[in-house]
Amino acid sequence: MVRTTTSPYLNLLRNQIDITRVPFSDRGSRMLVLQAATTVIEEGPFRLLGGHKFLEAGPRLAHKGQTVSYLLDNSDWPDALPVYLGDDDKDEEAFAAIHARGGVAIVIAAKPRPTQADCRLESPPAARRWLNLLQQELT
C-alpha cells in the first residue's frame, strides 16, 4: 500500500485488492476528503460509492444492480418472484434492478430512511425471523 495524501484529516491508501474506507469526523473535513478521494479514484478503475461518515471506493464493475440483473437474466427460474434484502446505500442499485423485474426490495434499517425499498425490517435478527417465517410458509 502507498499513502497518497498528507492531509491531517485523511489517510487514503492505494490498495489494489481491498475496497478502501475513509472515515471523516466532521462536516468541515467532508469536502477535503471528497476532493482528495475523487482525485485518487479518477486515476484508476474505481468509483466513489459514498457512505455515512465515510467515503468508499470500489471497482467500477462492482455494481449491485448490474449483478442482480445478470443473475436474474441467467436464472433457471425465470418466473420466480425476486426478493432482495439490503442494508446500505449500495443496495439501492439492486433495489432498482429488483423493481424492474417486478420483485420486492426490503431494506434492513433501524430507522426509516429514504429508500427505493418496498418495506423495512429493523435489524438483521428481524430479517432472519422474517426469512424463517417465509420458509415455513413456502414448505
Q: Is the pLDDT of residue 1 over 60?
A: no
Binned at pLDDT 50, 70 and 90, residue 18 comes out as very low
How much is the pLDDT for 39?
A: 75
Q: Are 109 and 87 in contact (CB under 8 A)?
A: yes
Angstrom distances, CA of residue 60 to CA of 34, 45, 46, 49, 63: 17, 6, 5, 10, 7
Binned at pLDDT 50, 70 and 90, residue 73 comes out as very high
Of 33-42, 80-89, 92-101, where does mean pLDDT reach its minimum? 33-42
How much is the pLDDT for 58?
A: 72
Of 31-40, 61-70, 80-89, 125-134, where does mean pLDDT reach its minimum? 31-40
pLDDT-above-90 percentage for the chain:
46
Average pLDDT of the residues in 95-116: 96
Q: Are 58 and 78 in contact (CB under 8 A)?
A: no
Q: Is the pLDDT of residue 9 over 60?
A: no
Distance of CA 122 to the CA centre of its chain: 17
Residue 122 CA to residue 110 CA, distance in Å, equals: 4
Q: Which are the contacts of 128, defined by CB distance < 8 A and separation ≥ 6?
A: none
